[in-house]
Amino acid sequence: MFGKNKFIFPFLMALCCQSLLHSQEGPTLDRIDSLIAIDQLEKARNLILNETEKDTAHLNLGKLVYPLGKIEFLKDKNTSFNDARALLQRIENKRLQDTITYEGLLGMGLLHVDQGSVVAANDYVLRANTLAKSIGNPLKNMESEFHLSEIGLKLGDFNQLLQRTENALGLIKGNPSIKFPLAPRTYNYKASLSHFMGHPDSANYYFERALKSVSGTSDTPENRYYLPGTIYGNWVMVKQSEGDYHAAMDMTLSCITHFNTFLEKTNNHSLTEKVHGNLTIAYRNLGSLYNDVGNKERAKQIAALGYHHAKNNLLPNTVQYFSSILMMAEAHLYSRDLYKSRKYLEEAERSLSSIPGDNLSYWGNLFNVYGDLESEYDNYDDAISYYHKTLSVYEKNNPDGYSQNQIYTQLNLAQTYSRAGVFNQAKDLLNKTQEKVQERYGKGGYLDNAVSLSKIRVLFSADKYSETVTLCDQLLKNYNSQFPGNERNKYYFGADQAQVVMFLAKAKYGMLTTKTPSTLTEITKLVDQATEIVENRRSLVSSQQAVADLIENNKEVFDFAKKVYLDLYGLTRNDDDLEKVMALHESAIYNKIRARLNLIEGNLAPAEIKEREQLIKDRMNSFFDAETETQFDVSEWEKTSKDWDNHLDSIQKNYPEYHDMRYASIVRPLTKLKKSINPETTIVRYFFVGKNLYAFVHNNTKTSLVELSNTMDNECIRTISNYASDTEVLFNCLKTLYDELWAPLTKYVDTKNVIIFPDAELFNLSFELLTSEKVSSLKDISKVGLLSKHNISYNYSLLLLENGSKTLQFDNDFVAFVPEFDHAMKANYQMAISDSLFLDKAYLTLLPQPFSTDLAKKFGKKFDGNTFLNSNASKQLFSESAKEHKIIHIGTHAESNNVNPELSRLVFAKNVSDSVNINDNYLYTYEIYNQNLSSNLAILTACETGKPTYQPGEGMISLAHAFNYAGSESILTSLWQIDEQSSTQILDYFYDYLSEGKPKDEALRLAKLDYLQNADGRTLHPQYWAGLVLMGNTSAIELSTDNHWLLWGLGLVFLTFLLWWIQRKRPSTN
C-alpha cells in the first residue's frame, strides 16, 4: 500500500525463538527420558517413584522433578504438577544438599515455562538462582541466569531479559576454562538483543559466535537441529533489516527445516513445546517476507498455516499463540480484508490479556496493528492514539533501545499526521527519527532509506515538489548502489523503488507551468520506469492472484501513468498514447479476472500440459491447506517451486500463445481489439482517472476518446432503481444522465449493437433508461430511451474481447432450478429438524416464487429440458446436473455480502433427506469458482446478483461474475432487486425471441419493449424491469423446441394420403 510503512512484527517476536535444554544425566535418567519419548508414561513414572524410595546417595533427586512433572503435563496440559510439587517439598523438608534443591527448583520453574505459567516459573528460577550463587557454582549460576532471561522475555520485561543475558554472558567470559552447554543460547540472545538495541554489527558477530559454539557440542537433536534452527530464525531479522532479502529467505527456510527435522527425530522432548512455538514465529517471518515482495495471497496462506499450527500445538496463554493470531490480523490487514483483520485483533487481545505479566512489548505490537487498521479506515485520531500508546509501552519496556519496531511505528505515525493534514508534526517527527536512525544504524542503509521514503510522501502531500525531487534523486542513487549482482534483493525493494520513481514523476509533473509534448514525454519515461519495476517484481510471485495483488499494491503507479499518457494524447492525438492509456486500465482489471477466469481457447495448449499445470498448482496450494497442514516441508516446497519455474519456461518456449494468455506481462497491449469486434458493434469503455471520467469509443471505422463531465450525480443512479422516488425527479435524472454520459458520444456511436464497459458507480446503472429528451410518462422511455435505439450488453474488460466470441456447442438445451419456497417445502424442513437450535429461521422467511416455477415448467417443456423444482432444486443436484447446457436457468433468492464478497450466496432447497447436510443449501461465491457451469447462457434473476459486492467497479467477485469464471459465456442477471412477476414476464418474451434465433442482446431489448407495451401502473417503473442486463457473449443460441405438434401434423397428412391411396386402389363395383 502506498503511503503506509509495513510494521515489522517478527523482529521482536523472533526473540521468542529461544529455549532451554534441560538434559538429564546418568543411565537412570536416560532410561526415564527414553520411556517418555516412546509414550511409556506410566513405566517412566513408576521408575521415578521407585528411585525416590531407594538409597539416593548416587542420584540427584532434584533432577527427577522435571521428568515427573513432564509426565503429568503430557497427560493433562492444565495439570497442577501435584507429583512434582510433592517431590520438591520432600527434598526441601529433608534439607538435602543445595545442589539437589537447586535442580528441583529449576525443574519446577521449567515445567511452568512449558505450561505458560511464567510468573510462577520466575519465582522458582529466582530461588534456584539464589542457591546457585550461594553454592558458588558458575555452571549452575549461568544456567539459572539464562533461564531468567528467557522468562523475562516471556513476561515482556525487557530489563530482566537484558540484565540476565548480560549476567550469563559475564559468567562465560569470566570462566574461559569452563565449557558452558548454554553458551550458544546465550550468544543467540545477545545477538538478538544487539539487533533490538540498534547494533547490527554486534548482532552479526554474536550470531556467528553462536553457530561456532554449537559446532563444538555433542551430537544430539538439540544441538544438531534445535539450536541452528533457533539461531537462523533470529538472524533473519538482522538480514531483513539490512535489506538482504536473499539471505533472510534462505535463513527462514533453513530454520523451518531444522525445526521440522527436530520434531521428526524426537517425541515428548523437553524442547517440543518450544519448537512448536518457534515454528509459529518462523512462519510469521516467512509470511512477512512474502508480504514484502507483494505476494499477499501467499502471506495470508502462511499466516493461516502458523495460526493452525499454534491452535494444534500451543497453549492459549503463551506469547507464541498470541503472535500467531496477530499474524493473521496483519495478513488480512495488508490484503485489505479489514473486517477479518479486526476480528483477529480482538481474538489476539483476548489471548494477550490471559497471559501473566506486563507483556509490554507485546501490547505495543498489538496497539501498532490497531493503529494501522484505524489508519486504513481513515480514523486518523484513533490511529494516532494507538501509535502513541505503542511508542509509550516500547519506551517503558526498553528505555535505552531503539528497535526497528519503534522506527516503523514513528514512520506510520508521521504519515498519519500527514494524511490528517498536520504536516509540521509529521516533518518534525521524521527529522528526529532519521537523526536517530543514522546515529544507530548508519546513513544510506535500509532503515535510513525507509525514513527518506516517508519524508518523500509527506513532502509531496504538502506540495513541496522541489524538495521531493531532490530527495527522490538522492534515494534512487542509494537504491542503485545497494544491489550489485543480487537480483532477488533488487526485486525485493522494487516496491519502494517504484514509489520513489512515481513520486519523482508526480513532483516534476506538479512543477510544470506549461505542458508540452517534450516535457510530458520526459515524465512518461519515469512512469515507464516505475511500471517496469513492478513488471520485474512479477518474477517473485507464482500465481495470477498474486499478480492481481501486485497491481493493487501499485495502483498509484498505474493511475498516474494513465493520467500522464492521457495528457500527452490530448496534445499529440497520437493513437499509440491512447492505446497505452487503455492498456494500463484494462490490464489492471484483466489481471484480476484471469486469476479465476475459465478461458475457452482449448487449442492453445494440449490437455496434458494443462493437467500438469493444474497438478503443480494443486501441489503448491496443498502446502497451505489450513485444515490439514500445520507444518511446512521446505525441501518439497523448493522442489515444487522449481517444477513450476520449469513448467513456465517450457510453455513459454513451446506454447507461447498459451503462456501469454495466462502468464504474460502485467501491462498487455490491445493488439487484437479491432479484429475482435463485430463490424455492427461499437464498444464504449467508461473509465475514471482520478475524479475525471472518460469514454473510449471504438468500432471498426474509428477510435475516439471523449472527456465527460466530472459532476455526475451518483444520487441520480440510485434514484432510478428506487420505486419510492418522485417520478419528476426520475425523469430529470434520466435526461441529465443522458446529457452527461451519452450525448457527447452520439456522433461516434453509429451501430445498433453496443457493448458497454462500466467503471465504478456506473456498474449500478442500466444505460438503456437514458432518454434523449425529458419524458412525461414512464411508457415514453420505450420511445426516446436508448432502449429504443440500441441492443445493449455489458462486459468487464476490453482484453476479454480478444479471447474471441466463438460459441460452444452443447447437446442439451435447457435446465432449470427453481425452489419455489412454498409453505409445503418450509413445513417439511421444520419437521426434518429435530433440534430447533439448528433451525434456519431466515430460510423460513423467504418469499414464495410461484411465477418462476410456472416459467421454468413452460420452457422446460418447450425446450425439452430438465426442470428441478421445489425440494428437487437442491445445491447437490445443481452441482451435479447444471453443467453442459445451452441455458442454465436459476430462479431463486440470493444474498449479497458487501463486507465479505466471497460469502455472497444463492439459496437452494433444503435437502430434507440428508439429516447430516440438511442445512447445506447455500451456494457461496467461492464455491461457484470451483464448479463446472459451462453454458451459453446462465439466467440469474435473483435479488441483486449482478451488483458489484466489493468496491464499486471492482465487483468481479459477485455471484454473476463467478458464473462467468465457472464457464458461462454470458449471464442475464439483475442489477438490483427486481419484482418476480415482472422478471418472469420479460423472460417469457426473451425465451420466445431466443427460440426465433435472435441474438441475446436483441432478444432482451425486444422482450423489454413488449413488457412496456403491456405493463401499466406501478409496474412501468424501472425498478420492475430495467435491472435485467446481459453480460458477455451476445450470439444467438440454436435451440430446438417442442416439435410434437409437427409430428402429429405430419402423421395426419400421411394417414390422409394413405386412406386416399387405398381408396383409389380399391376395385370399383358396377
What is the per-residue pLDDT across 78-127, written as a single tens digit (0 to 9) for each? 899 999 999 999 888 888 788 899 999 999 999 998 888 888 999 999 99
Q: What is the mean pLDDT of the chain?
A: 83
Q: Which residue has the cell 496443498?
A: 622
Q: Collapsing DSSP states into helix, strand and coil, what is residue 684?
A: strand
Mean pLDDT of 782-796: 94
Question: Which segment of 404-413, 454-463, 580-589 scores lowest on mean pLDDT?
Answer: 580-589
Question: What pLDDT does residue 645 have?
Answer: 77
Task: Tell me phi and psi for residue 632, to 5 degrees.
Answer: -115, 115
* pLDDT value, residue 179: 87
pLDDT of residue 1007: 97
pLDDT band at 1066 (very low <50, low <70, confident <90, very high): low
pLDDT for residue 980: 86
CATH topology of domain 677-799: Nucleotidyltransferase; domain 5 (3.30.420)
Which of 188-192, 836-840, 939-943 bottoms out in mean pLDDT, i.e. has the lowest? 939-943
Cell of 240: 531483513
In this prediction, residue 843 carries a pLDDT of 87
Concatenated DSSP letters for 650-675? HHHHH-HHHHHHHH--SS---TTHHH
| pLDDT band at residue 247 using 50, 70 and 90 as cut-offs | confident
Give the pLDDT mean for 140-150. Answer: 92
pLDDT confidence of 1013, banded at 50, 70, 90? very high
Rounded percentage of the chain residues whose pLDDT exceeds 70: 83
Q: How long a stretch of residues is the chain?
A: 1070
Q: Number of helices and strands (H, E) in the chain?
A: 48, 14
| DSSP symbols for 123-166 | HHHHHHHHHHHHHT-HHHHHHHHHHHHHHHHHHT-HHHHHHHHH
Pairing of strands 681-689, 692-698: antiparallel
Greatest mean pLDDT among 49-58, 388-397, 1035-1044: 388-397
Chain centroid to Cα 805, Å, comes to 32
442 pLDDT more than 50: yes
Residue 340: is its pLDDT beyond 50?
Answer: yes
pLDDT tens sequence across 889-898: 999 888 766 5
State the average pLDDT over residues 779-799.
92
C-beta neighbour count of 282 within 10 angstroms: 33
Mean pLDDT of 448-475: 94
Q: How many CB atoms lie within 10 A of CB 11?
A: 25
For residues 245 and 364, which has the higher predicted lDDT (pLDDT)? 364
Q: How far apart are CA 661 and CA 391, in angstroms?
A: 49
What pLDDT shows up at residue 642?
79
Question: Are 357 and 157 spatial neighbours (Cβ–Cβ below 8 Å)?
Answer: yes
Do 1005 and 787 contact (CB within 8 A), yes or no?
A: yes
pLDDT of amino acid 552: 63
**pLDDT for residue 482:** 61
Neighbours of 385 (CB within 10 A): 15
Cα-Cα end-to-end distance for the chain: 107
Average pLDDT over residues 753-775: 92
Right CATH number for 812-1043 from 3.40.1190.20, 3.40.50.1460, 1.20.1370.20, 3.40.50.1000?
3.40.50.1460
Domain edges within the chain: 677-799, 812-1043
C-alpha 160/C-alpha 418 separation (Å) is 37
Residue 27 has pLDDT above 80, yes or no: no
Other CB atoms within 10 A of residue 743 CB: 14
**pLDDT above 70: residue 550:** no
Mean pLDDT is highest, among 37-46, 443-452, 558-567, 646-655, for 558-567
Record the cell numbers describing residue 653, joined without a space: 518456449
With a cut of 50, say whether residue 947 has pLDDT above it: no
pLDDT one-digit tens code per residue, 862-906: 998 999 999 899 999 999 999 999 999 999 888 766 555 567 788
Model pLDDT, residue 525: 94
pLDDT at 68: 92
What band does 458 get if pLDDT is binned at 50, 70 and 90? very high
pLDDT, tens only, 798-823: 877 755 556 678 889 999 999 989 89
pLDDT digit string (tens) for 716-731? 888 888 878 889 999 9
pLDDT for res 897:
63
DSSP string of 717-778, one letter each residue: HHHHT-TTS-HHHHHHHHHHHIIIIIGGGTTT--SSEEEEE--GGGGG--GGG-BSS--SSG
Q: What is the mean pLDDT of residues 558-581?
A: 91
Give the pTM: 0.66
pLDDT in the model for residue 663 = 63
Closest Cα partner for 794 from 1009, 956, 1020?
Answer: 956
Half-sphere exposure of 746 (CA within 13 A, CB side): 11
Answer yes or no: is pLDDT of 537 > 90: no
Give me the torsion for CA of 707, 709, 712, 717, rounded to 10°.
-50
Q: How far apart are CA 336 and CA 737, in angstroms?
A: 33
Please compute the mean of the pLDDT values over residues 351-376 and round it to a whole number.
91
Mean local confidence (pLDDT), 454-477: 94
**903, containing H or E segment:** none
Report the pLDDT value the prediction gives residue 674, as an integer from 0 to 100.
67
Q: pLDDT value at position 954?
A: 37
Is 60 exceeded by the pLDDT of residue 542?
no
Look at 138-142, 384-388, 637-641 and tell me which has the smallest mean pLDDT: 637-641
The predicted structure's pLDDT at residue 4 = 43
Res 622: pLDDT:
66
CA distance 761 to 131: 74
Residue 752 predicted with pLDDT over 90: yes
pLDDT score of 1: 37
Asked if the model's pLDDT at residue 1060 lies above 50, the reply is yes
User: Which pLDDT tens digit goes with each residue over 570-584?
Assistant: 999 998 899 889 888
Query: Which residues touch 1069 (CB under 8 Å, ≥6 apart)?
Result: none
Least-confidence region, from 554-568, 687-701, 946-960: 946-960
